[in-house]
Amino acid sequence: MTERDDDIRELFQGARRADTAWTPSFDRVRAGRPRRPAPRGRLLAAAVVTMAAAVVLAVVVRSRAPQVPPDLVPLEVGQLRMPSDFLLDVLGAETLRSVPAIGRSDDWFPALAETKGSQL
């Protein structure tokens, strides 16, 4: 600090002298201020803050929930139709989907069964 700082020093010391009058007593500060019950306004403010926080939390949680993709593709085997399946749409295609019974020739040769006795 130099003599050139006397102007600043004087300002601060003037403030210090004035502040002394408004300093609470040592005993009062030592004991601590009595706690007042929370006023209604304070409780209301706390409630508003809590509700706002809950709303924000709900929005954030909802926006972060994993999105379920829509069912664009039928996943059941019977419904699945591939692009080349049209090749199977031929005359007599129902025989391709049936299982032949062993021992009954007429299942295998329906045309021959009709002429049974003529050739076999």
Partner 1 sequence: MEPRDLEVELERCHPDGFAWAVRCCGGNRSDAEDVLHQAYVKVLDGRARFEGRSSFKTWLFGVIRFTAREQSRAWWSQALRLGGWLRERSDDSLDPAQAAAADDTHGRLREALSRLSKRQAEVLHLVFYQDLTIQEAATVLGMPVGTARTHYERGKTRLRTLLAETVMVR
Give me the residues that bind partner 1 (CB under 8 A), please: 1, 5, 7-9, 11-16, 18-20, 22-24, 26, 28-33, 38-46, 49
Which residue's CB is nearer to partner 1, number 43 or number 112?
43
Q: How far is the CB of 30 from partner 1 (least distance, A)?
A: 6
Q: How far is the CB of 9 from partner 1 (least distance, A)?
A: 5
- Give 18-26's long-range contacts (Cβ < 8 A, gap of 24+): none
Which residue's CB is nearer to partner 1, number 22 or number 86?
22
